[in-house]
Structure 1
Amino acid sequence: MGVLIYIANTSLDGYVADERGRFDWTEPTEEVHRYINDVVRPVGTGLYGRRMYEVMAVWEDITGWGDSPGYVHDFAEIWAATDKVVYSSTLAGPTTERTRIERSFNPGAVRSLKEASASDLTVGGANLAGQALQAGLVDEIHLFISPVIIGGGAPALPADVRTTLELLNERKFGNGVVHLHYKVT
């Protein structure tokens, strides 16, 4: 059975994007990027909301990263190798390989997908992750907290969910980013 993991880059005040939708303040250093690569390496399937999928789709074309460092190419290879399920009522079809579109989020179907999976799964996008948390499907949360306060925007965690967490790991990076890894109990 796979574990469903929510991974988010957030500001200190808990936002994944500012009020204009920008998230450039989350760009990882090499140290953070390599760590994230290792976190997502065992993932076999990624669940995405439309907006997060559109942001992440740039990783599909590994050759498009040209002179980028090896750790960037590594992430692109990891992302391209995963199966992707995109929840969207508006996308006509997938723009990447190994991708299928689902018109609505179905907790029962996700539960079945987890049970049938031999590898872990991630849920990407704060709105979709909120739905998965609300349905009791998320098993672990990885927050990469950037040392910035942005004052508003898209929250990393939903306001209408209450759950307890067990801290599994923490790490501080040289650029001030702090990683917190929790198990949902």
Structure 2
Amino acid sequence: MAKLIYFTPTSLDGFIAGETDSINWSTPSEEVSAFINDRHRPIGIYLYGRKEYETMMVWETPDVIPGLTPAMMDFGRIWQAADKIVYSKSLETVSTPKTRLEREFEPQAVRDLKAQLPHDISVAGPNLAAQAIRAGLVDEYQLLVVPVLLGGGKRVLPSSVGVKLELLDERRFGNGWVYLRYRTRA
């Protein structure tokens, strides 16, 4: 059975983006990028909301990214190999291969995917992840804690939801980032 994983960077005070939606503070080092690639290799499907999908589309043609590194190129290949499901009421079509558009996030459909697939599933973006968390679908939380305080913005985790977690793994990086991996406890 596949796991649904919420893997995301977070500021120390729990935000994915600041007040202006900027995420420039979360650009990983080469060491962190290589680690991210290793965590994403087993992902068979990415679940995205519209905004997250539009951000990630650049990985279809990573050669346009200024300062492209070998780890970034590797991530592009990993991203291209996986299937994607985009949940959006406003998008007319999707423009990347191996991608399908769904109008509504349906928890039972995700439960069915988890039961059928041999590869893990990633949910990305705080709004879509909040829906999955509230539905009790997230099996693992994998957080990259960035040593910065944003003071406000878009929260990584939803409020008014309680989930018991068990720490599975942790790792410190030379740039001060910390990886935390938790499993949902029953």
TM-score, normalization: structure 2?
Answer: 0.97
* Number of residue-to-residue matches in the alignment: 185
Alignment of 1:88-127 (within 5 A): 88-127=88-127
Deviation at 1:62, TM superposition (A): 3.8
Shift of 1:116: 0.8
Query: Displaced runs of 4+ in structure 1, greater than 4 A?
Result: none
Separation in 2, partners of 1:131, 1:137: 9
Secondary structure of 1:94 counterpart: coil
- Matches of 1:72 and 1:150, distance apart in 2: 25
Whether contact under 8 Å (2:62, 2:72) holds in the other structure is no
Once the two structures are TM-superposed, the CA of residue 160 in structure 1 deviates from its matched residue by: 2.0
Return the TM-score normalized by structure 1. 0.97
Aligned equivalents of 1:144, 1:66: Cα separation in 2: 23
CA contact (8 A) 1:65 1:73 kept: no
> 5 Å matches for 1:128-139?
128-139=128-139
Provide the aligned C-alpha RMSD in A: 1.1
Provide the rounded CA distance (Å) in 1 between the counterparts of 2:65 and 2:149.
30
| Residues 58-86 of structure 1: per-residue CA shift (max 9 Å, x gap) | 00114434862211100000001110000
Q: Which runs of 5+ in 1 are unaligned?
A: none
CA offset digits 1:28-52 (Å, max 9, x no partner): 0001000000000010000001111
* Distance in 1 of aligned mates of 2:96 and 2:162: 35
Tell me, in whole angstroms, the C-alpha distance in 1 between the residues paired with 2:19 and 2:85: 27
Counterpart Cα distance in 2 of 1:71 and 1:20: 28
Identity of aligned residues (%): 49
Tell me the distance in 1 between the aligned counterparts of 2:79 and 2:172: 25
